[in-house]
A and B are shown apart, each in its own frame.
Chain A
Amino acid sequence: GAVVSQHPSWVICKSGTSVKIECRSLDFQATTMFWYRQFPKQSLMLMATSNEGSKATYEQGVEKDKFLINHASLTLSTLTVTSAHPEDSSFYICSVTWDTYTDTQYFGPGTRLTVL
């Protein structure tokens, strides 16, 4: 399967600042990546679908101006949390679609964001 990395693995920031999270597909050219958010003791929630060279598709209820997604190459997608607030504190996970015919996805290790 695909190997996916995320950077940073954890980040602490002050309220009002912006934080960028990187997702890299290390051994696979991913035209599509996905971003999820997971709060403690809860399941993963799909935030958006990131397509290389085009605008991301956001799920209902996810603010596109707050969660900026850039998929500039086949191996890198970035998620920027703008003007972060404590309620944005969460575990952010990206994934890549390995097989578009079966939708098998491989996930990154996740990034823990804590907003003070």
Chain B
Amino acid sequence: LAKTTQPISMDSYEGQEVNITCSHNNIATNDYITWYQQFPSQGPRFIIQGYKTKVTNEVASLFIPADRKSSTLSLPRVSLSDTAVYYCLVGAPYNQGGKLIFGQGTELSVKP
């Protein structure tokens, strides 16, 4: 199982773009990269998932370089409600024996 490394915490201000980088040097060929958001006393919420290059949805973008040894979650124009813990996970699909192993996550604090 690939191990991930993220900054423990980040601070930002409302309206700014936030980029959270995750290192996963031992990522395997079959592994996908998935990001989740968790608010206190709630279950994690799926944000975005990718395998390579760039993925964008209505809430975030995910940048994955060619070697796939890192990934960057980009949150455009954050607001106070984006204050949460963000988890980067790397793993194979479940039908190939994969399972989600959570790391420590990045605690993002958005200030007014």
Contact with A along B88-112 (1 / 0, CB 8 A): 0001111100111111110000000
Task: Report the interface size for chain A: residues with CB under 8 A from the other chain.
Answer: 28
9-residue interface stretch from A63-71, A75-83, A107-115:
A107-115
| Cross-chain contact B103 with A43 (CB below 8 angstroms) | yes
Chain B, residue nearest A94 (CB): B43
- Give the distance in Å from the alpha carbon of A95 to the alpha carbon of B94 in the complex: 13
B49 close to A (CB within 8 Å): yes
**Chain B nearest Cβ from A17, distance in angstroms:** 23
Task: Give chain B residues whose Cβ lies under 8 Å from the Cβ of A34.
Answer: 99-100
B63 at the interface (CB under 8 A from A): no
Nearest-Cβ distance from residue B4 to partner chain A, whole angstroms: 11
CB contacts between A and B, total, < 8 Å: 65
CB distance B93 to A101 under 8 Å? yes
How many B residues face the partner with a CB closer than 8 A?
Answer: 24
Known A103-B32, A103-B34, A104-B46; contact A91-B99, beta-carbon cutoff 8 A: no
A34 to B100, CA, bound (A): 9
Query: Is B42 an interface position by the 8 A CB rule?
Result: yes
CB contact between A109 and one of B43, B46, B94, B102 (< 8 Å): that residue: B43
**A54 proximal to B (CB < 8 A):** no
Cβ of A50 < 8 Å from any Cβ of B? no
Taken together as a complex, chains A and B put the C-alpha atoms of A77 and B10 apart, in Å, by 36
- A100 → chain B closest CB, angstroms: 4
Residues in chain A within 8 A of chain B (CB atoms): 1, 4, 6, 32, 34, 36, 43-46, 49, 91, 93, 95, 97, 99-110, 112
